[in-house]
Copies of this chain bind each other. A is one copy, B any other.
Amino acid sequence: MDERAYLERYDANAYDRPSVTVDLILMSVVDGAPAVLLAERGQHPFAGHWALPGGFVGMDESLDAAARRILHDKAHLTDAYIEQLYTFGAVQRDPRMRVISVAYFALLPVERFRAALRHAPELTLASLGVSPSGGGVEARIDGDGPVTLAFDHDAMIALALERLRGKLDYSHVAFALLPERFTLRMLQEVYEAILGQRLNKPAFRRRMLDRGWLEATGERETGASFRPAELYRAHIPKRDAR
C-alpha cells in the first residue's frame, strides 16, 4: 500500500477528540506592578467570573496563528511579543466538555496595553500581586479585593509570571514591555515589578550596559524637573535568543 492509498483509507473519525483552545495572557507592567487583561464571562460556565481572552483553534490554523488571531480579534492588536506558555489538559477543567487549552502569553508596553483597553471595552485591567498566603498570584480590579477567575486561569497567570521572572535573567523579554525608547530607570522599574523586589541602581545599570543589548540614542528624556536621563533603544544582536 503506497502513501496515497493509505491516506485515502485513513479514518480520521475513529476516535473521539477533545476541543482545543488558546487562552491569552496579555501582560504589561502598569504603575510598578504586573497586570493582565481580563474579560467578564457572561455565560455558563463561570458566568460572572473573570477569564482570559481565548478561543477555539481552527482546523486550518496553527496554534501560533490562533494566538495571533485572538490577539487581534479580542484586543485589536497586531504585532506583540508572543510566546507559548504551557498546555493545560486536566479532564474536568471545563465542565461542558473535554477542552485542552494552550496558553500563550503576550507582552505589551504600557501605552499599547492602555490602547487595547480603549479599543476593547470588554477587557479590563487587573493588576497582579503575590497572595499573602504564598505561592499563587491574585488579580485585583480597581484596587478592590482579589477576583475569582474562571477555569484554571489563575494557574495560567501564575505560571506566566513565573516564566517571565525566569526569563528576565537570560533573555531580553523586558524590552517587549517598554516603548521603543526608554530610560534605564524605566527598564529597572520593569525588572523590579516582575521580580517583586528592589534592585541596586548602579549594579543594575552596569549589568544591563555590559550585556550589549542597549544602544544609546544620544537623546534625553524631557519634562522632568531634574537631570534628564539618556534614552536607550534595544539592540538585539543577530540570532534572537529565546
Binding site for B on A (CB under 8 A): 1-3, 6-7, 10, 12, 15-20, 43-45, 47, 56-57, 59-64, 66, 84, 86-91, 95-98, 100, 102, 162, 166, 170, 242
Q: How far is the CB of A88 from chain B (nearest CB, A)?
A: 8
Return chain B residues, CB-CB under 8 Å to A100.
20, 57, 63, 102
Contact of A96 among B2, B12, B60, B89 (CB under 8 A): B12
Q: How far is the CB of A51 from chain B (nearest CB, A)?
A: 15
In the bound complex, CA of A91 to CA of B89 (Å)? 20
Chain B's closest residue to A43 (CB) is B6
Contact of A89 among B18, B64, B86, B166 (CB under 8 A): B64
In the bound complex, CA of A87 to CA of B3 (Å)? 26
Q: Are B57 and A89 touching (Cβ within 8 A)?
A: yes
Chain B's closest residue to A242 (CB) is B162
Contact of A20 among B20, B44, B88, B96 (CB under 8 A): B20
Contacts known (A18-B17, A57-B18, A59-B16); A10 close to B87, Cβ less than 8 A: no
Return chain B residues, CB-CB under 8 Å to A66.
89
